[in-house]
Structure 1
Amino acid sequence: MAANIVFTRIDNRLVHGQVGVTWTKAVNANLLLVANDEAASDPLMQKLMSTTAESSGAGIRFFTLQHTIDIISKAADRQHIFIVVKTPQDCEKLIAGGVPIKTVNVGNMHFAQGKTEITKKVYVDADDKKALLDIAHKGVDIYIQDYPGEKKTTVDDALLSKVQ
């Protein structure tokens, strides 16, 4: 039985108000799974994100990428899982590891040196581009959408053509 993954989002802020409340309610998730090696071992990060998750009524777990891969198949059917990862590379690792992700929402990927603007909230470099395209080429529906109900921008070769 595959895990009931209702939503997967790439957001370099991980869980914050927009994810913890707006998206969680929009996708009817009852469990936020933060798949991030750093957050899995940082009690302060966990405390801040847990407070946000509690305001939406969802449970929250913090797993390393590998632990997520190892344990996702054991999820109960009643768990409507919303996976949050920090980078496209993390998402790509989960998919390669067998996590049954069918759709990926790209949220915030902040500007940094060497990154190219794709949308107002998404900046990518060559490594990000490769990971995003690898995900898209595996048949995963991957798109940029900041808020529920906003227009979706499909992530594909044409969109990423300006990234070197």
Structure 2
Amino acid sequence: MVKLLRIDDRLLHGQVAFAWTKSLGVDAIVVVNDEVVKDPLIKMSIKMAAPPEVKLAIKSIDDAVKLLEHPKTQDMSIFVVVKNTKDALRLSQKTKTIQHINVGGIRKEEGKQMLTRAVFINDEDIQRFNKLIEMGIEVEIRQVPTESKKCICELLK
């Protein structure tokens, strides 16, 4: 069962690997991105960031769907991390296992506006967030588990 999907353009790093994993009490972390799965250097750095007590998988979106829907993972507690809103929406459209999304970090780029100090979005991100909300998925923003949740629907108004 997927406990949480997190959007974080840095993917797996200390804050995600330790604070969120411990807070959620998960058995496994699944990092999902079609480009990262093909990059040995990034995969190696993700593996080094993962806590030793949890299982780690780095998957493409299609392979992540197969993994998340496999009968053997139904009794596991899983934390999914994606790089961007595009990956979050694609994964959520392909599997019904995603019920809750946390937006942790989307870096500033040209054409993006600040939503919070760590989240910068453009019109495409807003459209994707709205689609996720329409699908009945809870979408919230917070950096660390000890912060209070901010519903993205309130911030997008």
Which residue does the alignment assign to 1:132?
Answer: 129
Cα distance, 1:35 vs structure 2: 0.7
TM-score, length basis structure 1:
0.90
Distance 2:74 2:130 in 1: 30
Q: How many positions carry a matched residue from both structures?
A: 156
TM-score, length basis structure 2:
0.94
Distance 2:96 2:50 in 1: 22
Which residue does the alignment assign to 2:31?
Answer: 34
2:156 counterpart SS class: helix
1:79 counterpart SS class: coil
Q: Match of 2:42, as an amino acid?
A: M
- The within-5 A match list for 1:92-111 is 92-111=89-108
Distance 2:19 2:128 in 1: 26
Q: Match of 2:8, as an amino acid?
A: D
Q: Which runs of 4+ in 1 moved over 2 A?
A: 75-79
2:26 counterpart SS class: coil
The answer (yes or no) to whether the contact 1:65–1:94 under 8 Å persists in 2 is yes
Distance 2:144 2:51 in 1: 20
The answer (yes or no) to whether the contact 2:68–2:74 under 8 Å persists in 1 is no
Q: CA RMSD in A?
A: 1.3
- The within-5 A match list for 1:36-115 is 36-55=33-52, 57-74=53-70, 75-115=72-112
User: Identity of aligned pairs, percent?
Assistant: 28
Structure 2 portions without partners, runs of 5+: none
